[in-house]
Amino acid sequence: MTTPILTLIFFAGWGLTLVVMIVCWRAVEVLTGKTVANDFASGSQHGGDLYWRLNRAHLNTLENLPIFGALIVAGHLCGLTDGAFAQLAVTVVVGRVGQTFFHVASNRVMAVNLRFTCYLIQVAAMGAMVVSLIRLPG
């Protein structure tokens, strides 16, 4: 399996890991009687601050997965399976993990700045992946 495909699997697995954490959090809240099952209104903030940051980190991961996935599939179909393209794919995943960490860790200015920096790294790497695909001959 190529590095870009493995990064796509990891990215998707990261999103799955975050949703499992959310499911476990909700289950504990309901089973301990701290809340009822229908207290998790979609689209509006619910739960404590840490829970909500985890929820947003998960949604942000899902928002970016299709873009990253499309780039990986296009690269795979065009034969970009190693070299700079593979390194850019790894950079995206490392940026995503960093962004999630800072998103969940805190809402303080420094954490938000670090989170945004990790996001910019991902966007720049995905932009470079697009350029790699455009520059292919034929």
What pLDDT digit, counting tens, does each position of 46-95 carry?
888 999 999 999 999 999 999 999 999 999 999 999 999 999 999 999 99
> Where are the alpha helices (H) located in 32-82, listed in sequence order?
49-77
> Where are the alpha helices (H) located in 1-138, listed in sequence order?
3-31, 49-77, 83-105, 109-134
pLDDT digits (tens, 9 = 90+) for 82-91: 999 999 999 9
CA-to-CA distance for 36 and 24, rounded, in angstroms? 14
pLDDT at position 124, please? Answer: 98
In the chain, what are the domain boundaries? 3-133
CA-to-CA distance for 102 and 124, rounded, in angstroms? 19
pLDDT at position 46, please? Answer: 85
The listed CATH number (3.30.70.150, 1.10.4190.10, 1.20.120.550, 3.40.50.720) that belongs to domain 3-133: 1.20.120.550
Note the pTM of the prediction, 2 decimals: 0.93
Token digits of residue 95: 């940026």
